């Protein structure tokens, strides 16, 4: 679907991968969204860690895509589904907004 940017009058495709990546309003081209920083959507990521018989998932909120990507890279690099999470994850600004933590207790033992 083609639209005209309200800022620069450039015609752009709203279904292009770059528009989907940068976000912004439907009538703003990707270049203007980046330049004017009009994207206000919250950046979320889900990360999975191994714990007991069931893996745990956490939903984490970030203020920027860069922080989100740095966190996920650091989390994944910690190995074993985040069990050995390093302090580098904690140094990136984030907020946990939800989680489903696995139960380490197996058949009532422990």
Does residue 30 sit in the same domain as residue 75?
A: no
Contact at 8 Å (CB) between 102 and 64? Answer: no
pTM for the model:
0.57
Residue numbers of the domain that contains 79: 43-100
Does residue 30 sit in the same domain as residue 47?
A: no
Q: What is the pLDDT of residues 54-70, one digit of tens each?
A: 777 889 999 888 898 89
**Residue 72 located in a structural domain:** yes
Does residue 59 sit in the same domain as residue 86?
A: yes
DSSP lists the bridge partners of residue 43 as: 62
Does residue 55 sit in the same domain as residue 92?
A: yes
Q: Give the contacts of 33 (CB within 8 A, at least 6 positions apart).
A: 22, 23, 24, 25, 39
Does residue 28 sit in the same domain as residue 48?
A: no
Q: What is the pLDDT of residues 28-38, one digit of tens each?
A: 999 999 999 88
Does residue 51 sit in the same domain as residue 19?
A: no
Contact at 8 Å (CB) between 27 and 3? Answer: yes
Exposed (0-12), middle (13-18) or buried (19+): which is 104, by Cβ within 10 Å?
Answer: exposed
């Amino acid at each position: 679907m083609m639209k005209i940017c309200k800022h620069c009058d450039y015609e752009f495709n709203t279904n292009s991968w770059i528009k989907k990546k940068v976000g912004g309003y439907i009538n703003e081209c990707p270049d203007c969204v980046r330049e004017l920083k009009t994207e206000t959507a919250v950046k979320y990521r889900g990360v999975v860690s191994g714990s007991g018989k069931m893996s745990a998932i956490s939903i984490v909120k970030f203020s920027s895509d860069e922080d989100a990507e740095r966190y996920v890279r650091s989390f994944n690099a910690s190995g074993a589904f985040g069990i050995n999470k390093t302090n580098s994850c904690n140094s990136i600004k984030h907020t946990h907004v939800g989680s489903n933590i696995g139960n380490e207790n197996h058949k009532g033992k422990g």
